[in-house]
Amino acid sequence: MKKLLLIALTCLLTVGAAAPALALGPLDVEAELPLYSKYVWRGMTNTDDYVLQPSLLVGIFGFQLGVWTNMDLTDINDDEGEFKEIDYTLGYKLGLAIFELGAGFIHYQYPEIPRADTTEFYISGKVNVLLSPSLVIYQDIDHYKGGYWAASVGHGFGLGESAKIDVTAGLGLGSKNYIEGYFPVDPGLPWDPEFSTGTSATDYYIDAKLPFHPIPFLTIAPSVTWTALLGDAKDSVAAVPDGSIYAGRTSAFYWGLSAKFSF
């Protein structure tokens, strides 16, 4: 464990040392190393213990290419120190006055469960006004064939002259195929929930971050997040008594600490 963290820290410091030189080129690069007390995605608790989630994003002329990974730091899933998920992103972002628009693809790869690999197409929009409302629409075009809509608002609150806290709240909605794909329930259970026939709310979250910049190009951000499942998604997880689906959790509170180099 200590060796792994030392390697990760060395990589970050190497990237940071190279940042001034790379900043002279046409590329925009972000390298991030977050530590979280849980891995929760769209309200689903995938790992109920510490994880490391290194990522790298490279952009040029609006085009973006990224890779994001998740590594369990304990043996809660019998996979300590192994990458359980690797996501690849190819997208494009465009700024128009107060609007930010984007589109692209995300490929989700699960090295230990190849049959779960899938790909989503997404389009996004954000308005740079009060509360910065945004909407991202994801459509699975591979394994699950379902749609997911993520809406959010956020605001930064000043804490003196050089610090602020960023608060974001979001709501997720899933199509019938999305819910049935990500929240399967054994039909033999006597309390098998009846899924609704259309799109319904699946999760929400409230997130608070306190970013600060100890040196140029580097952002350190501690964070706390509360998230919970809703509707059919919540009923599906609660219907399984042994906790085999998403650790049996219909809600979660977790913290994080990230280090991000941007240049």
**Distance in angstroms (rounded) separating the CA atoms of residues 120 and 106:** 5
**Distance in angstroms (rounded) separating the CA atoms of residues 49 and 36:** 8
**Confidence bin at 185 (pLDDT 50/70/90):** low
**What local confidence, expressed as pLDDT, does residue 239 receive?**
86
Domain count, the chain: 1
What residues are paired with 241 via a beta bridge? Answer: none
pLDDT digits (tens, 9 = 90+) for 203-228: 999 999 999 999 989 999 999 999 99
Instruction: Give yes or no for residue 3 having a pLDDT over 60.
Output: no
Domain with residue 42: its CATH number is 2.40.160.40
Amino acid at 55: S
Q: Determine the straight-line distance between the first and last CA of the chain, rounded to whole angstroms.
A: 29
Tokens of 27: 């590329």
Q: Which residue has the higher pLDDT, 129 or 239?
A: 129
With 0-12 / 13-18 / 19 or more C-beta atoms within 10 angstroms meaning exposed / middle / buried, residue 113 is exposed
| Whether the Cβ atoms of residue 236 and residue 244 lie closer than 8 Å to each other | no
Instruction: Give yes or no for residue 195 having a pLDDT over 90.
Output: no
Instruction: Give yes or no for residue 4 having a pLDDT over 60.
Output: no
**What local confidence, expressed as pLDDT, does residue 18 receive?**
47
What is the domain extent for residue 90? 2-262
**Distance in angstroms (rounded) separating the CA atoms of residues 119 and 107:** 4
- What's the whole-number mean pLDDT along residues 83-104? 96
